[in-house]
Every structure is written in C-alpha cells, then in structure tokens.
Structure 1
Amino acid sequence: MMEAYDRFELLINDQVVKTPVAIASMAGIVDAAYVLERAAHVGVAFIGGYSIDGPTLEASRRMAEDGRKEFLYADPIEALGHEIDALKESSVVAGINLRGSTPAAYAGVASAFEDRVVYEIDAHCRQSPMLNAGCGEYLLHHPDALVEIIRALKAEDVTVSVKVRAGVAANDADLARTVWKAGADILHVDLMDYGHNKLRQIRNASPLTLIANNSINTFDRAMDAFSHGADLVSLARKSDPWTLAGLDAAITRAADEGGWYNAPKQLCRGGDIRALAFCCMPVKACPLIPTLERIGLSRKEYLKLKQEAVKGTALENGKTTCFGSLAWCCKISSPCMFRNMTLENVGLSAREYMRCKHRLSEKIMHRIFDEKETADESS
C-alpha cells in the first residue's frame, strides 16, 4: 500500500487509496458482495443508498413497489453492520451512502460505526418519495438542512462525503463552498451532461477531495476529469470488473510515467487554479491576471507566494530559464529547451519535476483556501 501512496498520494478516512477509481452507490445493487467481486481494481466504494429511518424506509418501500431496486430491512443498524463487517478485510476504502430525514438519523449511524467507514450524505436521489422525506435533491434546494446534517456527522468525528447532482443547486460553486465550510471532506459530483467546465468551476471553489461521476468509464474521460480538478473518478452502471481493471491499469501506468496523475491543464488551456504552479510571472495579458483577481491574490502576493514556496527545493534552480527559476516554468508536456536544459543540469527527471510542481500546487492551494480564508474570517 505504500507503493500506492507514493504513486497517488491519496488518503481517505486515514486509509491509503490504492487507485483513484471508485464505485458509486446504486440503491438495491451496490452492497458489500458487489464491491468484493471488484475489489482488486477499486480504491474506494460507496455501498447503498441505504435508508436509515422511518420516513426514508417508507419512501424506499414505495419506490420498490413502483419497480425500483431498493435495500429493504427491518433494522438499519443491524443491516449496515453486516455489510461493513464484510468489507473490513478488503483493501478498499469503504463508504456508506445514506438517506435520512433528520440530522439525528445520520448521527445515530455514525455513533454506531464510528470511523470504520466514510459517511456519504445522499443529496443526489431525485425520486419524489425521497424528496418528500427531506433527503436527496431536497437538500440541494435547502442547503441549510444539508449543513445541519454535515455538522451532525462531523460532531461524531467521522469522514463525510456529500453526493450531489450538478446543475440542481442554485449555484454549484457556492454549494461546494458551503459544503466545505460546514466541514465535509469529500464532494462526489454526478456531472450529468455538464462535463469538465462544471468540474473546474467546483474545483476552483473549494479544496475538498473531489470525485467525478457520470459516464467516466474510459481512460481518456478519466484523464480529462483529472486534468480539470478531480481527485478520483467513480463508476456506477459501468462498474463491471473488466472496465474497472482497464481503468486501474491505464491510470496506474500514466501515474508512474508522469509523476502527477491528476496534473491540471495549464491555465491558458482551460486548467483549474492548481495550474498556477505552471504559470509564469504576471507580466503579460493572459488568463493568469483575471484568475488572480478572481481569487483575491495581488500580483505581488502571487510572486511572493511562489518564490517562498520553492525555497530550498529543486524548483528554486533555473537561472537560464525565462524568469530565472523553475518556479515559473510550464508543464512538462509543453516544449521548452531552457527548462529541459535546466532539468538536465540539476539532474531532475521529468517525472520528479512534475512531482515538485505537485508540491508547489499544494502550497498554493493551502494559501488560497486555508490561510486566506482564515485571514478573511478574522478581519
């Protein structure tokens, strides 16, 4: 598992994620047995959705009568306990997708199982019985209720994911910030037909671990999601063993070769704000300038941030590059003889260069979302 951590550097619920490929919940279908059949090529799996109190169980029964698949049981805690026990010997990080009508219902489940699993709030279901029970997409139209649930779960000191459908909330970027501020750890987004533009918008709004979902079942689609902000991709209907194995193998190979498996596109080519790690000094009219204005960083602050972030690292080198340091150099996929000459002179491989850029990106994101937010709140 340490090899997997070195490759992807992904931790969820204090567990190493062996591959950034996940299984998304499908009510009545994805349970422990479903996951175990596919465990060799999955890093995270969300079983469920599981209704966990009287109103949502009644909604599940009504939906089942209408022909939908649902998990039905007399005792939610007992049923979930069996599923969680079945997954405990697996190397897959386990999550349970939950549908409850009150914050107390979620807190009750978290109190029973503590940190054994990730708790995913289903703000995704759009069936009328579930909406009438106060869950699913109801929560996207009533974000205050969603915040209460997140806080109730975090009070139990557990890892929280929120599963949403893009384009339902009034503003997805605002929703991402709200979920992050409430204390959630993961945002699991069904992109519907919005594609990478929506994904980039969400990534630029929060530092949450971001899982992209919906028809991401090929290597090209996965890499497109990664390059616009996703940390993981999840599959539902196409989560068959053959597809999962192919994705896992291709993504692993790309990570080993490239050094940063979900490196963003450069900002001038539509990348998200992690791509500031590849930007040069703000000396010309380009997408960097409006991006800095949008995130509230002055040009001076940006210069100081990158200069301090690379001190004592391999990126501090590069006197013969355009701006005198590898800090300002572009992505390895962009041809540049000055950058490449410097890499050769300092003995830094292309893979290690990208890993260094990843570290720089993390420092930039920390400055934008942690230090800056703390400063804004205290002012």
Structure 2
Amino acid sequence: MFTPRVALASLSGESDADWAIQGSEHVGAAFLGGVALDEKTRAAARALVSRDRSEFLPDDPVAFVDDQLTSVADVSIRPGINVRSATLPPIRSVSEVCRAHDAILEINAHCRQEEMCSAGAGQFLLSHPDRLCEQVRMATKTGATVGVKLRTEVPSVDLPNVSRRVADAGAEVLHVDAMDSEHVIADIAETTDCFLIANNGVRDEETVREYLEYGADAVSVGRPSDRPAVLSRVASATDEWFAEVVA
C-alpha cells in the first residue's frame, strides 16, 4: 500500500498539500483533509468554524481535492484524502479524482463533533453501518482505492463487525483511531484482511511496537505530524520492526 509504513493523519483545516510535503521525508503516505463535500456537511463545517475550529471550506470541494492532489503529485508519498459527506453523489465525484491521482479515498466515520454527526457524517456512520457501506460501495465503483477512518470507544458499536462489513463492501484500508483501546486493533486485524493503519498516541518506539504487535500494518501520526523529530523516531521504529519481521 505504501512504504515506509508511516502515514500522516488528517487534521481538519490544517492538513493540506504543504503540510504533506513538509512531512514527506519520513512517511509513506499522507491523508489530507478532512474535506466536507455536500451542503449538509459544509453547513456543519461552517458551524464548527463559528466556534473557532479549523475547516477547509473551498467554493468547490471536488476541485479543491484535485488541486491538492496535483500539488503532491511529484512527492514520494501515497496521498489520501479524508472526506465527509451525508450524500452519495459527491463521494462518487471525489473518488473519481482520487482514482486519477492513485490516491486513497478515505471516508470519514471518525469525526465526533456534534454538528457533523447531526448532519449524518463522521461518527454517525459507525452507528449506521448500512449508510457507511453505501458510501464505500459508491466509491469503489470508480476503481479508486477506498479506506475508512474509524474510532474505538463509540457506545453500542461493535467495531470489528463494522470493519468486516465495510471490508465486504470493498474497503481496502482501515485507519483506526484507537483512543485508549489499543487492543481493538488486534480484534480488527483478526476480522479483516484490510491494510490496517493504527492511530492515536504514536510518538516513539514503544507506541509503534505496541500497535504493530497487535497486528497493524502501519501507524499514523496526528497532532505532532508537523514535528520532524517525532516523525523520524516513528519511521525508524517502524523500519526496524519490519526488518526484524522479515529477518
């Protein structure tokens, strides 16, 4: 999927092409975004901005994605774009752009902000897996590589079961924010054959090894993704782990 097996995880309103280029020396992938695609999620994003959260709100979200992916075309990373939508047509449009750029289309079932969940996106989709699977199937129709960003510790959600369902719908990548439930990575790894990226608290050799021992195929760095020293430590630890596994 990508090497080295370290990714930059999207931070809404902050993770653009310049951010990806800045961290590209140490990683194999970067998930830009998240980008709200339809009017419901864009209204939610505007509400988030009104209370001082950062969001991308370009006039044309799909054109914005195309422009951002074009900007990293010559950078040696596998790009991805994290998107939020309550409706299907924009998912198809942006996945076509991702296919053209060999980028991963990452459906956001992760955002827990009330405005986004009320719009029918983000974490709402974890509790409504039929809707999530519809989005995955729509995206895969274009031939794009499709991933889903998930989070643990959502009440009444059987995350391994949701992971299996989205894999059956065609998702190839699962990007899991493990919160304080790192062991769930092992449950998901046993449930699907998807490329599994573990996120949350990845800072050093100890956290890298914990996730990889649980069965993750890669790790991602969120908040400290703009800190080269952290990225370098994580990349070195990841390379060492897989060198040991191969040996």
- What TM-score do you get using the length of structure 2 for normalisation? 0.95
1:228-267 pair list within 5 angstroms: 228-239=214-225, 240-256=227-243, 258-260=244-246
Q: Distance in 2 between matches of 1:179 and 1:113?
A: 19
Residue 136 to residue 19, structure 1, CA distance change in 2 (3 Å): same
Would you say the 8 A contact 1:115–1:159 is kept in 2?
no
Would you say the 8 A contact 1:115–1:157 is kept in 2?
no
2:23 pairs with 10, 26, 38, which one? 38
1:254, CA displacement in angstroms?
4.0
1:65 pairs with 50, 59, 79, which one? 50
AA partner of residue 157 (structure 1): G
Q: Which residue of 2 aligns with 1:341?
A: none
**Superimposed CA distance per residue, residues 65-95 of structure 1 (whole angstroms, 9 cap, x where no aligned partner):** 0110111111112211221111100111000
**Superimposed CA distance per residue, residues 83-125 of structure 1 (whole angstroms, 9 cap, x where no aligned partner):** 1111100111000000111122100112344241110000000
- 2:86 pairs with 1:101: yes
Would you say the 8 A contact 2:41–2:116 is kept in 1?
yes
1:198 pairs with 160, 184, 203, which one? 184
| Count of residue correspondences | 244
Residue 141 to residue 246, structure 1, CA distance change in 2 (3 Å): same
Q: Distance in 1 between matches of 2:217 and 2:242?
A: 13
Per mean C-alpha deviation after superposition, the further-off stretch among 176-185 and 243-252 is 243-252
**Superimposed CA distance per residue, residues 36-88 of structure 1 (whole angstroms, 9 cap, x where no aligned partner):** 01101011110000011111111111100011011111111221122111110
**Superimposed CA distance per residue, residues 196-251 of structure 1 (whole angstroms, 9 cap, x where no aligned partner):** x2111111111111000000111111011111110000011022211101221233
* Aligned residues with identical type, % of pairs: 34
**Superimposed CA distance per residue, residues 300-321 of structure 1 (whole angstroms, 9 cap, x where no aligned partner):** xxxxxxxxxxxxxxxxxxxxxx
- 2:151 pairs with 1:173: no
**Superimposed CA distance per residue, residues 153-186 of structure 1 (whole angstroms, 9 cap, x where no aligned partner):** 0111110110011122521111111111111001
AA partner of residue 191 (structure 1): A
- What TM-score do you get using the length of structure 1 for normalisation? 0.63
AA partner of residue 19 (structure 1): P
Q: Which residue of 2 aligns with 1:47?
A: 32
User: Tell me, what secondary structure is at the counterpart of 1:204?
Assistant: helix
Would you say the 8 A contact 2:98–2:144 is kept in 1?
no
Would you say the 8 A contact 1:24–1:46 is kept in 2?
yes
AA partner of residue 181 (structure 1): D
Q: Which has the higher helix share?
A: 1
1:282-301 pair list within 5 angstroms: none
- 2:142 pairs with 1:159: no
Runs (5+) with no aligned partner, structure 1:
1-11, 261-350, 352-379
Runs of 4+ in 1 over 6 A off after TM superposition: none
Q: Distance in 1 between matches of 2:195 and 2:74?
A: 24
Q: Which has the higher strand share?
A: 2
**Superimposed CA distance per residue, residues 123-145 of structure 1 (whole angstroms, 9 cap, x where no aligned partner):** 00011111121100110010000
Between structure 1 and structure 2, the one with the greater Rg is 1
User: Tell me, what secondary structure is at the counterpart of 1:180?
Assistant: helix
Residue 233 to residue 65, structure 1, CA distance change in 2 (3 Å): same
1:18, CA displacement in angstroms?
2.4
- 2:176 pairs with 1:189: yes
- 2:128 pairs with 1:142: yes
AA partner of residue 244 (structure 1): L
Q: Which residue of 1 aligns with 2:77?
A: 92
1:252, CA displacement in angstroms?
2.1
Q: Distance in 1 between matches of 2:142 and 2:242?
A: 35
- 2:67 pairs with 1:82: yes
Runs (5+) with no aligned partner, structure 2:
none
Q: Distance in 2 between matches of 1:108 and 1:115?
A: 11
User: Tell me, what secondary structure is at the counterpart of 1:41?
Assistant: coil
Q: Distance in 1 between matches of 2:89 and 2:69?
A: 20
Q: Distance in 2 between matches of 1:187 and 1:53?
A: 23
